[in-house]
Amino acid sequence: MTLFTILGIILLILLSGIRIAQEYQRSIVFRLGRFQAVKGPGIYWLIPFIERQQKVDIRTKTVDLEQQETITKDSVTIKVNAVLWFKITNPEDAIIKVADYNKAVYQFSVTALRNIIGQHSLDEVLREREQINGTLQRIVDSTTEPWGIKIEMVEMKDVEIPEAMQRAMAREAEAIREKRARIVKAEAELEASIKLTQGAKEMEKSPIALELRRMQMLSEIGIDNNTTTIVLVPSDFTTAAKSFTELVAKKKVEE
């Protein structure tokens, strides 16, 4: 074996240690089984046969938590699913402190989701989703932080309610709407009665105004219904009308 052959073999061995990590990747380097460093992104070199690496993706990952059947605080069985977003902030801890960080995050998130639903009633689950999402995020994040993982966001997607409960909720909503309609109608009648009382008091001060209102009402009845109406006019009203007519005639004569 010549010197050039030996040098060529050594060069190939040295070149075999060259590695490249993408911008979104980090490489955890172990030397003879012990953690050495976190390298990347870009090009770096490993000692052949002595050092090995394990790459991790530090981009935000999306985890779809499968539908979970759980019981609420008021003993209603519902099905809930959610979506979780997380990213690796410390690649060393994510590899060394937990065997499979993807599986660990998923399993703990599912367990936490079931537990937190069990601490709330059905109405709270439906009304306070944002608050439950925030609580769930804090619980999972506090557990995954030692693993070098940051939980960025948790969102419940769907809440499936049993059909019997849906019918009961529909009846409740209908009763609430009917109650609201009756209250509005009662308030309208009260306001109308107040206005009618005020109008009656004003008409009480002027009998002529009362008679004119009566005549107007009769004319409205005649328009709406094709009937013959017999009207009894009070003598005071006819006397006043006669006096008014005579006064007008007298003025015309004088002119």
Can you give the CATH number for the domain in which 66 is found? 3.30.479.30
Is 87:152 a contact under the CB 8 Å cutoff? yes
How many helices (H) and strands (E) would you count in the chain?
8, 8
Q: Are residues 93 and 140 in the same domain?
A: yes
Q: Are residues 80 and 151 in the same domain?
A: yes
Q: What is the dihedral of CA 39, 40, 45, 47, to 10 degrees?
A: 30
Which domain does 30 fall in, by range? 3-57
Q: What is the pTM of this model?
A: 0.65
Q: Can you give the pLDDT of all 255 residues of the chain as single tens digits? A: 687 788 888 888 888 889 999 999 999 999 999 999 999 899 999 999 899 999 999 999 999 998 888 888 888 888 999 999 999 999 999 999 999 999 999 999 999 999 999 999 888 888 888 999 999 999 999 999 999 999 999 999 888 887 776 677 677 777 777 888 888 888 888 888 888 787 777 666 666 666 666 666 666 665 555 666 565 555 555 565 566 566 656 666 666
Q: What share of the chain is helix, strand, coil (3-state, %, to 5)?
A: 55, 25, 20
Nearest to 82 by CA among 132, 148, 19: 132
- How far is the CA of 59 from the CAs of 36, 85, 150, 208, in angstroms? 23, 10, 11, 88
Q: What are phi and psi of 232, to 5 degrees?
A: -100, 110
Q: Are residues 150 and 86 in the same domain?
A: yes
Q: Are residues 153 and 168 in the same domain?
A: no
**What's the domain count of the chain?**
3
- Residue 238: inside a domain, yes or no? no
